Amino acid sequence: LLEAELARSPLDRALLGHFAELVLTEGGGPVVDAGCGPGRITGHLRSLGLDVSGVDLSPGMVAEARLRHPDIDFRVGALTALDGGDESLAGVVAWYSVIHTPPEDLPAVFAELHRVIRPDGLLLLAFQAGGFSVRHEQAYGHTVTFDAHRHDPDSVTAQLADAGLRVTVRTERAPQEFERTPQAFLLARRT
């Protein structure tokens, strides 16, 4: 299902392509897919020529990602405690991973992303826009319980700036037929 969503989302593919092109034309370097889940975006970024690895909090998701993409390094980790030294990454993609982060915890996530991204490096952030949270009891045909946080794009932009990440591209799109909320995308540079 998730693989099909990217295929049906030309704007999403264009933004990921733009991110990849910027990283590659600005000297390349390692990129992390933070909150990679089963590696769908990580694999796409690799196909675009990036030196990419993935990190996810769920050991089960990391195991699935390793099965799907055995040639990519995947590790268990949190958005607030990423492996890697200070200023060691050309960029980070956080593709819908912050929807699992309550609004009050976003500053800690953004501070950690700032720490690992090199000066003038890139962050591509995708999330469901809104400003409210929803509790899910079922997702993708499985019984699970989790809260999904729809973040306000203005608030996220301000929090990124506070963390030293300047938004250079901001776009939102209406929900597609398989989505319920508007989607927001922010490309930021580390200052």
* In the block, residue with structure tokens 């890697």: 84
136 Cα distance to chain centroid: 20
Task: Report the pLDDT value the prediction gives residue 1, as an integer from 0 to 100.
Answer: 41
Three-state SS at 85: coil
138 Cα distance to chain centroid: 22
pTM for the whole structure: 0.91
Domain layout of the chain by residue ranges = 2-190
Three-state SS at 82: coil
Per-residue pLDDT of the chain (191 residues; tens, 9 = 90+): 456 778 888 999 999 999 999 999 999 999 999 999 999 999 999 999 999 999 999 999 999 999 999 999 999 999 999 998 999 999 999 999 999 899 999 999 999 999 999 999 999 999 999 876 665 455 556 666 556 879 999 999 999 999 999 999 999 998 877 777 899 999 999 99
74, 96, 40, 66: CA torsion to nearest 10:
20
User: Which residues contact residue 64 at a Cβ distance below 8 angstroms, ignoring those fewer than 6 apart?
Assistant: 37, 38, 39
Q: Which amino acid is at 147?
A: D
Q: Which fold has domain 2-190?
A: Rossmann fold (3.40.50)
The pair of structure tokens assigned to 50 is 């990036």
